[in-house]
Amino acid sequence: EIVLTQSPATLSLSPGERATLSCRASQSISRYLAWYQQKPGQAPRLLIYDASNRATGIPARFSGSGSGTDFTLTISSLEPEDFAVYYCQQRSSWPLTFGGGTKVEIK
Amino acid sequence: QVQLVESGGGVVQPGGSLRLSCTASGFTFTTYGMHWVRQAPGRGLEWVAFILFDGSNEYYVDSVKGRFTISRDNSKNTLYLQMNSLRVDDTAVYYCAKVSDWGPYFDSWGQGALVTVSS
């Protein structure tokens, strides 16, 4: 099973600041990584797939990068609606696995 | 517009059974694989099971193998999760999710069904 480790667990930032979230895989997953956003009481929403492709309707302030074992989700300038929990997920091999999440909270 | 609506959640005793349903609309259900993903209270996401578009193959996380069965009825646009021998640690919100056009990611989700396993 591929283990995904996200860091930091919590990121305290102000609106307008840049957020950088990390996801590290226990073995190479090529570019087969997605990022999701989840707000309290809601289902997750797909943001990024295959490491760097924005899903339909996702604003350009969200970008993804990385390959192999190290991946990054960047939010260039935080909007109030971006404060949420973010998860990475790999599709390189079964079982599909998620990281433990990074909470982006208002400072 | 894709819609996924789960039903069938509830409270069940350890060792009991429950069947979740997910009714799909707004897309061609018969051409997409489908997943179940769960989230224990206050915890992260855990993928549970996947079924191919035609039901010809299934995958499960180890912790539910032999206890849970994913299935689908393409004539009814409905996905199922039969859960047997339920344990306390199966307590979670269960989401059905549609496979994306770019591989087995989850591009649309239902609102979730809460399953509580408790004596």
B48, B25, B5, B65: CA torsion to nearest 10: -20
- pLDDT above 90 (res B103): no
**A96 with B104: Cβ contact below 8 A:** yes
At B37-49, the pLDDT tens digits run 999 999 999 999 9
Chain B (63-92) residues lying within 8 Å, Cβ to Cβ, of chain A = none
Dihedral of alpha carbons B115, A6, A32, B67, sign = negative
- pLDDT above 90 (res B104): no
Q: Hey, is the C-beta of A99 within 8 angstroms of any chain B C-beta?
A: yes
- pLDDT above 90 (res B102): no
At B49-59, the pLDDT tens digits run 999 999 999 99
How close A98 gets to chain B, by Cα (Å)? Answer: 6
Residues of A within 8 A of B107 (CB-CB) are: 46, 49, 55-56
Residues of B within 8 A of A94 (CB-CB) are: 59
User: What pLDDT score does B119 carry?
Assistant: 92
At B58-79, the pLDDT tens digits run 999 999 999 999 999 999 999 9
Cβ-contact B9, B95 below 8 angstroms: no
Per-residue pLDDT of chain A (107 residues; tens, 9 = 90+): 999 999 999 999 999 999 999 999 999 999 999 999 999 999 999 999 999 999 999 999 999 999 999 999 999 999 999 999 999 999 999 999 999 999 999 99
pLDDT bracket for residue B107 (50, 70, 90)? very high
User: What pLDDT score does A65 carry?
Assistant: 98
Q: Hey, is the C-beta of A53 within 8 angstroms of any chain B C-beta?
A: yes
Q: What one-character DSSP code corresponds to residue A55?
A: P
- pLDDT above 90 (res B12): yes
Residue B62 identity (one-letter amino acid) = D
User: What pLDDT score does B54 carry?
Assistant: 95
